[in-house]
Structure 1
Protein backbone atom coordinates (compact mmCIF):
# COMPACT_ATOMS: atom_id res chain seq x y z
CA UNK A 1 0.00 0.00 0.00
CA UNK A 2 1.36 3.42 -0.94
CA UNK A 3 1.63 6.33 1.48
CA UNK A 4 -1.22 8.00 -0.40
CA UNK A 5 -3.45 4.96 0.09
CA UNK A 6 -2.55 4.73 3.79
CA UNK A 7 -3.68 8.32 4.30
CA UNK A 8 -6.88 7.70 2.30
CA UNK A 9 -7.68 4.57 4.32
CA UNK A 10 -7.17 6.58 7.52
CA UNK A 11 -9.76 9.07 6.23
CA UNK A 12 -12.14 6.18 5.53
CA UNK A 13 -11.65 4.67 8.98
CA UNK A 14 -12.32 8.04 10.63
CA UNK A 15 -15.61 8.43 8.74
CA UNK A 16 -16.55 4.80 9.46
CA UNK A 17 -16.19 5.50 13.20
CA UNK A 18 -18.51 8.48 12.84
CA UNK A 19 -20.91 6.31 10.82
CA UNK A 20 -20.97 3.77 13.66
CA UNK A 21 -22.03 6.58 15.98
CA UNK A 22 -24.67 7.72 13.46
CA UNK A 23 -26.03 4.18 13.30
CA UNK A 24 -26.46 4.29 17.06
CA UNK A 25 -28.68 7.37 17.01
CA UNK A 26 -32.00 6.50 18.66
CA UNK A 27 -34.16 8.25 16.04
CA UNK A 28 -34.62 6.00 12.96
CA UNK A 29 -34.79 8.71 10.28
CA UNK A 30 -32.08 10.80 11.89
CA UNK A 31 -29.62 7.89 11.80
CA UNK A 32 -30.20 7.43 8.06
CA UNK A 33 -29.82 11.14 7.30
CA UNK A 34 -26.61 11.32 9.34
CA UNK A 35 -25.21 8.19 7.69
CA UNK A 36 -25.87 9.32 4.13
CA UNK A 37 -24.41 12.72 4.95
CA UNK A 38 -21.23 11.15 6.33
CA UNK A 39 -20.87 8.93 3.27
CA UNK A 40 -21.32 11.94 0.99
CA UNK A 41 -18.67 13.87 2.95
CA UNK A 42 -16.31 10.88 2.68
CA UNK A 43 -16.60 10.75 -1.11
CA UNK A 44 -16.05 14.52 -1.23
CA UNK A 45 -12.95 14.22 0.99
CA UNK A 46 -11.51 11.41 -1.14
CA UNK A 47 -12.22 13.26 -4.39
CA UNK A 48 -10.50 16.35 -3.00
CA UNK A 49 -7.57 14.30 -1.72
CA UNK A 50 -7.12 12.58 -5.10
CA UNK A 51 -7.67 15.90 -6.91
CA UNK A 52 -10.70 14.54 -8.76
CA UNK A 53 -13.48 16.96 -9.72
CA UNK A 54 -16.44 16.53 -7.37
CA UNK A 55 -20.05 16.50 -8.55
CA UNK A 56 -22.47 16.33 -5.63
CA UNK A 57 -25.48 14.90 -7.45
CA UNK A 58 -23.31 12.29 -9.17
CA UNK A 59 -21.72 11.32 -5.83
CA UNK A 60 -25.16 10.86 -4.22
CA UNK A 61 -26.33 8.69 -7.12
CA UNK A 62 -23.19 6.53 -6.99
CA UNK A 63 -23.44 6.03 -3.23
CA UNK A 64 -27.07 5.01 -3.64
CA UNK A 65 -26.24 2.62 -6.46
CA UNK A 66 -23.57 0.91 -4.36
CA UNK A 67 -25.39 0.77 -1.05
CA UNK A 68 -28.73 -0.19 -2.55
CA UNK A 69 -27.31 -3.45 -3.82
CA UNK A 70 -25.94 -4.54 -0.47
CA UNK A 71 -28.82 -3.09 1.50
CA UNK A 72 -31.26 -5.28 -0.40
CA UNK A 73 -29.33 -8.34 0.77
CA UNK A 74 -28.67 -7.06 4.27
CA UNK A 75 -32.01 -5.31 4.62
CA UNK A 76 -33.37 -8.04 6.87
CA UNK A 77 -30.64 -7.33 9.38
CA UNK A 78 -31.12 -3.58 9.07
CA UNK A 79 -34.90 -3.83 9.56
CA UNK A 80 -34.40 -6.23 12.44
CA UNK A 81 -31.95 -3.79 14.00
CA UNK A 82 -34.41 -0.91 13.69
CA UNK A 83 -37.30 -2.96 15.06
CA UNK A 84 -35.19 -4.35 17.89
CA UNK A 85 -34.37 -0.82 19.01
CA UNK A 86 -38.06 -0.34 19.79
CA UNK A 87 -37.90 -3.15 22.38
CA UNK A 88 -36.78 -1.84 25.77
CA UNK A 89 -33.56 -3.17 27.26
CA UNK A 90 -31.81 -5.98 25.43
CA UNK A 91 -33.67 -5.38 22.14
CA UNK A 92 -32.51 -1.79 22.03
CA UNK A 93 -28.94 -2.81 22.78
CA UNK A 94 -28.92 -5.51 20.07
CA UNK A 95 -30.49 -3.18 17.52
CA UNK A 96 -28.08 -0.41 18.40
CA UNK A 97 -25.08 -2.72 17.99
CA UNK A 98 -26.31 -4.12 14.66
CA UNK A 99 -27.10 -0.73 13.15
CA UNK A 100 -23.84 0.72 14.39
CA UNK A 101 -21.80 -2.13 12.86
CA UNK A 102 -23.68 -2.09 9.54
CA UNK A 103 -23.36 1.69 9.23
CA UNK A 104 -19.61 1.52 9.80
CA UNK A 105 -19.24 -1.40 7.38
CA UNK A 106 -21.16 0.37 4.63
CA UNK A 107 -19.13 3.55 5.01
CA UNK A 108 -15.85 1.64 5.07
CA UNK A 109 -16.81 -0.28 1.92
CA UNK A 110 -17.79 2.91 0.09
CA UNK A 111 -14.45 4.43 0.98
CA UNK A 112 -12.51 1.39 -0.20
CA UNK A 113 -14.37 1.39 -3.53
CA UNK A 114 -13.66 5.05 -4.18
CA UNK A 115 -10.01 4.69 -3.15
CA UNK A 116 -9.60 1.81 -5.59
CA UNK A 117 -11.32 3.78 -8.36
CA UNK A 118 -9.40 7.01 -7.77
CA UNK A 119 -6.09 5.14 -7.40
CA UNK A 120 -6.64 3.66 -10.86
CA UNK A 121 -7.11 7.16 -12.31
CA UNK A 122 -10.90 7.14 -12.34
CA UNK A 123 -13.25 10.05 -11.77
CA UNK A 124 -16.85 10.39 -10.63
CA UNK A 125 -17.88 10.67 -14.26
CA UNK A 126 -16.43 7.31 -15.34
CA UNK A 127 -17.35 5.44 -12.15
CA UNK A 128 -19.34 2.31 -13.05
CA UNK A 129 -21.26 1.03 -10.01
CA UNK A 130 -22.17 -2.23 -11.77
CA UNK A 131 -18.50 -3.02 -12.26
CA UNK A 132 -17.55 -2.11 -8.66
CA UNK A 133 -20.57 -3.55 -6.83
CA UNK A 134 -18.90 -6.88 -6.01
CA UNK A 135 -15.86 -5.02 -4.63
CA UNK A 136 -18.22 -2.98 -2.43
CA UNK A 137 -20.09 -6.08 -1.25
CA UNK A 138 -16.89 -7.92 -0.37
CA UNK A 139 -15.64 -5.05 1.79
CA UNK A 140 -19.10 -4.50 3.28
CA UNK A 141 -19.50 -8.13 4.33
CA UNK A 142 -15.91 -8.50 5.53
CA UNK A 143 -16.04 -5.31 7.60
CA UNK A 144 -19.51 -6.13 8.90
CA UNK A 145 -18.34 -9.53 10.13
CA UNK A 146 -15.18 -8.01 11.61
CA UNK A 147 -17.09 -5.32 13.48
CA UNK A 148 -19.67 -7.69 14.92
CA UNK A 149 -22.59 -7.09 12.56
CA UNK A 150 -23.97 -9.64 10.17
CA UNK A 151 -24.58 -8.00 6.82
CA UNK A 152 -23.66 -11.25 5.13
CA UNK A 153 -26.57 -12.97 3.41
CA UNK A 154 -27.41 -16.54 4.39
Structure 2
Protein backbone atom coordinates (compact mmCIF):
# COMPACT_ATOMS: atom_id res chain seq x y z
CA UNK A 1 0.00 0.00 0.00
CA UNK A 2 2.77 2.39 0.91
CA UNK A 3 4.52 1.71 -2.39
CA UNK A 4 1.37 2.82 -4.24
CA UNK A 5 1.37 6.13 -2.38
CA UNK A 6 5.04 6.73 -3.23
CA UNK A 7 4.41 5.86 -6.88
CA UNK A 8 1.51 8.33 -6.95
CA UNK A 9 3.68 11.06 -5.37
CA UNK A 10 6.48 10.45 -7.88
CA UNK A 11 3.95 10.50 -10.72
CA UNK A 12 2.50 13.79 -9.46
CA UNK A 13 5.96 15.36 -9.10
CA UNK A 14 6.88 14.18 -12.58
CA UNK A 15 3.60 15.55 -13.97
CA UNK A 16 4.20 18.97 -12.44
CA UNK A 17 7.83 19.02 -13.65
CA UNK A 18 6.75 18.03 -17.17
CA UNK A 19 4.00 20.66 -17.17
CA UNK A 20 6.30 23.42 -15.90
CA UNK A 21 8.93 22.48 -18.48
CA UNK A 22 6.28 22.75 -21.20
CA UNK A 23 5.24 26.20 -19.93
CA UNK A 24 8.85 27.45 -20.04
CA UNK A 25 9.40 26.09 -23.55
CA UNK A 26 6.13 27.68 -24.67
CA UNK A 27 7.21 30.96 -23.09
CA UNK A 28 10.46 30.87 -25.08
CA UNK A 29 8.55 30.11 -28.28
CA UNK A 30 6.19 33.02 -27.59
CA UNK A 31 9.12 35.34 -27.01
CA UNK A 32 10.60 34.26 -30.34
CA UNK A 33 7.24 34.78 -32.06
CA UNK A 34 7.15 38.29 -30.59
CA UNK A 35 10.24 39.08 -32.66
CA UNK A 36 8.43 38.41 -35.96
CA UNK A 37 8.51 41.75 -37.80
CA UNK A 38 5.09 41.30 -39.42
CA UNK A 39 2.36 43.14 -37.47
CA UNK A 40 -0.55 41.00 -36.25
CA UNK A 41 1.13 37.77 -37.47
CA UNK A 42 3.21 37.76 -34.29
CA UNK A 43 0.06 38.14 -32.21
CA UNK A 44 -1.60 35.23 -34.05
CA UNK A 45 1.53 33.10 -33.67
CA UNK A 46 1.57 33.64 -29.90
CA UNK A 47 -2.13 32.74 -29.70
CA UNK A 48 -1.39 29.52 -31.58
CA UNK A 49 1.52 28.70 -29.25
CA UNK A 50 -0.69 29.25 -26.21
CA UNK A 51 -3.45 27.04 -27.63
CA UNK A 52 -0.95 24.28 -28.41
CA UNK A 53 0.42 24.61 -24.86
CA UNK A 54 -3.10 24.09 -23.50
CA UNK A 55 -3.54 21.03 -25.72
CA UNK A 56 -0.29 19.54 -24.41
CA UNK A 57 -1.04 20.43 -20.78
CA UNK A 58 -4.43 18.74 -21.09
CA UNK A 59 -2.69 15.63 -22.42
CA UNK A 60 -0.19 15.65 -19.53
CA UNK A 61 -3.06 15.81 -17.04
CA UNK A 62 -5.34 13.39 -18.89
CA UNK A 63 -7.95 16.08 -19.54
CA UNK A 64 -9.91 15.94 -22.79
CA UNK A 65 -8.79 18.83 -24.99
CA UNK A 66 -11.58 20.84 -26.56
CA UNK A 67 -10.19 23.35 -29.05
CA UNK A 68 -13.26 25.61 -28.95
CA UNK A 69 -13.28 25.64 -25.16
CA UNK A 70 -9.52 26.23 -25.15
CA UNK A 71 -9.87 29.25 -27.43
CA UNK A 72 -12.73 30.57 -25.31
CA UNK A 73 -10.73 30.04 -22.12
CA UNK A 74 -7.76 31.94 -23.55
CA UNK A 75 -9.96 34.79 -24.78
CA UNK A 76 -11.80 35.03 -21.47
CA UNK A 77 -8.67 34.79 -19.34
CA UNK A 78 -6.48 37.17 -21.32
CA UNK A 79 -9.31 39.34 -22.61
CA UNK A 80 -10.70 39.82 -19.13
CA UNK A 81 -7.52 41.63 -18.16
CA UNK A 82 -8.32 44.45 -20.57
CA UNK A 83 -5.14 46.58 -20.44
CA UNK A 84 -3.02 43.45 -20.50
CA UNK A 85 -4.97 41.84 -23.33
CA UNK A 86 -4.87 44.86 -25.60
CA UNK A 87 -1.17 45.56 -25.08
CA UNK A 88 0.24 42.74 -27.27
CA UNK A 89 -2.02 43.64 -30.19
CA UNK A 90 -1.29 47.37 -29.86
CA UNK A 91 2.46 46.75 -29.67
CA UNK A 92 2.15 44.46 -32.69
CA UNK A 93 0.38 47.20 -34.64
CA UNK A 94 2.96 49.79 -33.51
CA UNK A 95 5.48 47.81 -35.58
CA UNK A 96 3.91 49.46 -38.64
CA UNK A 97 5.48 52.79 -37.67
CA UNK A 98 8.83 52.97 -39.47
CA UNK A 99 11.99 52.67 -37.35
CA UNK A 100 10.50 53.65 -33.97
CA UNK A 101 7.62 51.18 -34.18
CA UNK A 102 9.77 48.23 -35.10
CA UNK A 103 12.23 49.10 -32.32
CA UNK A 104 9.49 49.37 -29.69
CA UNK A 105 7.92 46.13 -30.93
CA UNK A 106 11.23 44.25 -30.93
CA UNK A 107 11.94 45.32 -27.36
CA UNK A 108 8.56 44.97 -25.68
CA UNK A 109 6.51 42.36 -27.53
CA UNK A 110 8.76 39.36 -26.76
CA UNK A 111 8.59 40.22 -23.05
CA UNK A 112 4.81 40.69 -23.06
CA UNK A 113 4.24 37.55 -25.15
CA UNK A 114 6.45 35.42 -22.94
CA UNK A 115 4.90 36.72 -19.72
CA UNK A 116 1.37 36.14 -20.99
CA UNK A 117 2.16 32.57 -22.08
CA UNK A 118 3.84 31.88 -18.74
CA UNK A 119 0.80 33.16 -16.82
CA UNK A 120 -1.68 31.17 -18.93
CA UNK A 121 0.37 28.02 -18.41
CA UNK A 122 0.62 28.51 -14.66
CA UNK A 123 -3.13 29.12 -14.39
CA UNK A 124 -3.95 25.92 -16.25
CA UNK A 125 -1.42 23.87 -14.29
CA UNK A 126 -3.16 25.01 -11.11
CA UNK A 127 -6.59 24.32 -12.65
CA UNK A 128 -5.71 20.83 -13.90
CA UNK A 129 -3.85 19.98 -10.66
CA UNK A 130 -7.05 20.69 -8.74
CA UNK A 131 -9.01 18.31 -10.99
CA UNK A 132 -10.46 20.95 -13.31
CA UNK A 133 -11.33 20.53 -16.97
CA UNK A 134 -12.07 22.91 -19.83
CA UNK A 135 -15.76 22.58 -18.97
CA UNK A 136 -15.20 23.69 -15.36
CA UNK A 137 -12.77 26.54 -16.12
CA UNK A 138 -13.99 29.87 -14.72
CA UNK A 139 -11.70 32.77 -15.66
CA UNK A 140 -13.21 35.03 -13.00
CA UNK A 141 -12.03 32.70 -10.25
CA UNK A 142 -8.42 32.79 -11.45
CA UNK A 143 -8.17 36.45 -12.49
CA UNK A 144 -6.06 37.44 -9.45
CA UNK A 145 -3.80 34.41 -9.84
CA UNK A 146 -3.38 35.20 -13.54
CA UNK A 147 -2.32 38.78 -12.67
CA UNK A 148 0.21 37.46 -10.12
CA UNK A 149 1.61 34.97 -12.62
CA UNK A 150 1.76 37.63 -15.34
CA UNK A 151 3.91 39.77 -13.05
CA UNK A 152 6.11 36.76 -12.27
CA UNK A 153 6.21 35.89 -15.98
CA UNK A 154 7.50 39.37 -16.82
CA UNK A 155 10.37 38.86 -14.38
CA UNK A 156 11.15 35.39 -15.77
CA UNK A 157 10.99 36.62 -19.37
CA UNK A 158 13.12 39.67 -18.54
CA UNK A 159 15.72 37.40 -16.94
CA UNK A 160 15.82 35.31 -20.12
CA UNK A 161 16.15 38.49 -22.17
CA UNK A 162 18.95 39.79 -19.92
CA UNK A 163 20.85 36.48 -20.13
CA UNK A 164 20.74 36.63 -23.92
CA UNK A 165 21.90 40.25 -23.94
CA UNK A 166 24.88 39.54 -21.70
CA UNK A 167 25.85 36.28 -23.41
| TM-score, length-scaled by structure 2 | 0.79
Q: Answer whether contact 2:70 2:134 (CA < 8 A) is retained.
A: yes
Q: How does 1:3-42 map to 2 (within 5 A)?
A: 3-42=14-53
Residues 92 and 114 (structure 1), Cα distance of their counterparts in 2 relative to 1, 3 Å cut: same
Offset at residue 87 of structure 1 (A) = 3.4
Q: 1:114 aligns with which of 124, 147, 151?
A: 124
Q: Which residue of 1 aligns with 2:138?
A: 128
CA distance in 1, matches of 2:104, 2:156: 16
Q: Which residue of 1 aligns with 2:150?
A: 140
Residues 98 and 31 (structure 1), Cα distance of their counterparts in 2 relative to 1, 3 Å cut: same
Gaps of 5+ in 1: 150-154
Offset at residue 148 of structure 1 (A) = 3.5
Worse-superposed segment, 28-37 or 74-83:
74-83
Q: Deviations over 1:112-133 (max 9, x none)?
A: 0000010111111111111011
Offset at residue 76 of structure 1 (A) = 6.9
Residues 125 and 77 (structure 1), Cα distance of their counterparts in 2 relative to 1, 3 Å cut: closer
Offset at residue 60 of structure 1 (A) = 0.3
Q: Answer whether contact 1:85 1:96 (CA < 8 A) is retained.
A: no
Q: Which residue of 2 aligns with 1:68?
A: 79
CA distance in 2, matches of 1:128, 1:77: 23
Residues 12 and 76 (structure 1), Cα distance of their counterparts in 2 relative to 1, 3 Å cut: closer
Gaps of 5+ in 2: 1-11, 160-167
| TM-score, length-scaled by structure 1 | 0.85
Q: Answer whether contact 1:77 1:98 (CA < 8 A) is retained.
A: no
Q: Answer whether contact 2:78 2:85 (CA < 8 A) is retained.
A: no
Report SS of the residue matched to 1:28.
coil
Paired residue total? 147
